[in-house]
Structure 1
Amino acid sequence: MAFTRATGKHRRPSRLTRTTAQVAGVAALTTTGVIGGLAAPALAADTAAPADQNGLTQAIAIGDTLAAQIDAQATAQKKAAEEAAAQKKAEAEAKRRAEEARREAAEKAAKEREAKERAARAAERKRLNTYVAPISGSYVSTAYKASSGLWSSGSHTGIDFHAASGTTVHAVGSGTVVEAGWGGAYGNNIVIKMNDGTYTQYGHLSSIGVSVGQSVTPGQQIGLSGATGNVTGPHLHFEARTTPEYGSDIDPVAYLRSHGVGI
């Protein structure tokens, strides 16, 4: 039976049309199981066609390539995600270590500062509880309870330290000035209430350098020695008392020695 085409310009079927037809034909023949003798030459011719004209082969090739690309992309994305996670973890660990080191350094500095402050406070307490001699590098020229008509009581109520006029006089310990001025036979004198509740007196001064109510510390200059009041020459009269009043005197040598001052 002959086939006719519409009148007009005859065109050769396109490659897409031919390929589609070939694929359809092969599929149909394969499905029905009928491959006639007349169809054999055509089938052989189609089989010998170039691979790029074989629709099934091309479809399969394209599918495999796309799947491989997707797999490669997924692998790359997974690797990138793992690397990013590892980087983030490393950064977090570095930050944690830096913070820990900073905290340890701060704690160490705080402990060192606290230790220094404790040591400074201890040193200050020790200094404030320390006693010194009222005249540096001197000696006792008149002893306690020495007898003489020079004193109204008939005996010496303190000790005299050898000192030229103008020699620095020190507070023997920490305390508060309760008297600073003229003291009759004592001349210019200072009386200090010590932190332990006792009192010390410094007499015959040529100059007074403190005032009543002022706090003093061990070794602080409070005046200068002299020869004011009832004296035969310049020296420092020093007394230790249980009250600020005359007549409450105690042995000043024993008093100073009990506080660690060797005289």
Structure 2
Amino acid sequence: MPAKGKHRRTKSNPLTRGFVAAGTGGAAIALPLLGATGAHAAAPAAAPAAAPAQTAAVASVAETAKPAPRVYTVVAGDYLAKIAHDKNVKGGWKKLYADNREAIGDDPALIHPGLKLTLGAKSTAKSPAKADDTRGERASRSAAKTQAPAKAKPAAETPAPVREQAPAQSGSGFTAPVSAGVTTPYRASGSMWSSGYHTGVDFAASSGTSVKAVGPGTVVSAGWSGAYGNEVVIKHADGNYSQYAHLSSLSVSAGQSVGGGQQIGLSGSTGNSSGPHLHFEIRTAPGYGSDIDPLAYLRGHGVSI
């Protein structure tokens, strides 16, 4: 039996205290709830941190999945526009040249058989020796670069079949430059020519046809010549000069002696040309504007043409 005058203190329920605190101040019970809410709210914020890693992983996979660049080996008769068209190079020959400039050099028209071009990506090939500012030295070096690979090739890769089709030399050692018919005659008039007339004759030579020196002489120049594209000019013993224009590649260099019927390059469509052919001139001086009738000249040296 409890003692008189003493009252037992009734224990309050913890839950009841919680409600009382909530009713009086509101902070005691609310603070834990807000803390919990903050914790839950902070959790999703950490998730985006993983996104860059996932993006990098996807990019890495995509990079790995890219196809490897293709490599094309130049053959006789090739020129950049033809390769870009045949191989569907986006950006055309200008993109192909930009990607392979170090391998090709300063002149986009001078490419030689055996040269390796990267299609669809920038080439890592080493740059050839840079040409001098002097046109004559540049032409000589450019032609020398085209000649060296040809010497290293096996005989089976040279255009021997074309040589077999070449016309026979005359007794004077002169011959036609190609075995093909004439398409545009000498002195044909028209506004397409700066002089108002055709200063040479055009032969219907497809790209890659072997072009030969019409007679023995010395190469005066071999290289790029503006509207004529790649050209070779040869001085002969009689003081006249023969010119061969729009070539796709060169086989000789300035200062070199050549014989009648010797290959000096391959026909093409470089420079200001509507399509593959050989533009051929005979001149009394090495430069433009001193032309004479080329067919009459060849016939005067015993060439039947």
The residue aligned with 2:172 is 129
- Contact 1:175-1:193 at 8 Å conserved across structures: yes
One-letter amino acid of the structure 2 residue matched with residue 214 of structure 1: Q
- Contact 1:227-1:234 at 8 Å conserved across structures: yes
The residue aligned with 1:176 is 218
Q: Secondary structure at the match of 1:130?
A: coil
- Contact 1:159-1:238 at 8 Å conserved across structures: yes
Tell me how far apart the structure 2 counterparts of residues 198 and 189 of structure 1 sit (CA, whole Å).
Answer: 16
What is the number of residues matched between the two proteins? Answer: 137
- Contact 2:268-2:276 at 8 Å conserved across structures: yes
Tell me how far apart the structure 2 counterparts of residues 160 and 209 of structure 1 sit (CA, whole Å).
Answer: 20
* 1:52-102 Cα deviation digits (max 9, x unpaired): xxxxxxxxxxxxxxxxxxxxxxxxxxxxxxxxxxxxxxxxxxxxxxxxxxx
Tell me how far apart the structure 2 counterparts of residues 261 and 215 of structure 1 sit (CA, whole Å).
Answer: 21
- Contact 1:171-1:218 at 8 Å conserved across structures: yes
The residue aligned with 1:25 is none
* 1:22-68 Cα deviation digits (max 9, x unpaired): xxxxxxxxxxxxxxxxxxxxxxxxxxxxxxxxxxxxxxxxxxxxxxx
Tell me how far apart the structure 2 counterparts of residues 127 and 142 of structure 1 sit (CA, whole Å).
Answer: 24
Q: 1:230 aligns with which of 248, 272, 291?
A: 272
* 1:110-167 Cα deviation digits (max 9, x unpaired): xxxxxxxxxxxxxxxx98831100002x111100010122211110000000110000
Structure 1 or 2: more helix by fraction: 1
One-letter amino acid of the structure 2 residue matched with residue 154 of structure 1: G
* 1:187-222 Cα deviation digits (max 9, x unpaired): 000000012111000000000110000000010000
Question: Where in structure 2 are the equivalents of 1:139-178 lying within 5 Å?
Answer: 139-178=181-220
One-letter amino acid of the structure 1 residue matched with residue 226 of structure 2: G
The residue aligned with 2:247 is 205
Tell me how far apart the structure 1 counterparts of residues 215 and 172 of structure 2 sit (CA, whole Å).
Answer: 7
One-letter amino acid of the structure 1 residue matched with residue 176 of structure 2: A
The residue aligned with 2:284 is 242
Question: Where in structure 2 are the equivalents of 1:42-191 lying within 5 Å?
Answer: 129-136=172-179, 138-191=180-233
Q: Secondary structure at the match of 2:186?
A: coil
- Contact 2:230-2:270 at 8 Å conserved across structures: yes
- Contact 2:231-2:246 at 8 Å conserved across structures: yes
Percent of paired sites with the same residue = 66
- Contact 1:128-1:218 at 8 Å conserved across structures: no
Please give the TM-score of this superposition, normalised by the length of structure 2.
0.44
- Contact 2:170-2:301 at 8 Å conserved across structures: no
- Contact 1:129-1:174 at 8 Å conserved across structures: no
Q: Which runs of 5+ in 2 are unaligned?
A: 1-168
Q: Secondary structure at the match of 1:256?
A: helix
Q: Secondary structure at the match of 1:176?
A: strand
- Contact 1:177-1:192 at 8 Å conserved across structures: yes
Tell me how far apart the structure 2 counterparts of residues 248 and 220 of structure 1 sit (CA, whole Å).
Answer: 25
Q: Which runs of 5+ in 1 are unaligned?
A: 1-125
Tell me how far apart the structure 2 counterparts of residues 156 and 196 of structure 1 sit (CA, whole Å).
Answer: 24
- Contact 2:201-2:294 at 8 Å conserved across structures: yes
Which piece of structure 1 moves more, 143-152 or 222-231? 143-152
Q: CA RMSD in A?
A: 1.4
Tell me how far apart the structure 2 counterparts of residues 250 and 127 of structure 1 sit (CA, whole Å).
Answer: 21
Q: Secondary structure at the match of 1:240?
A: strand
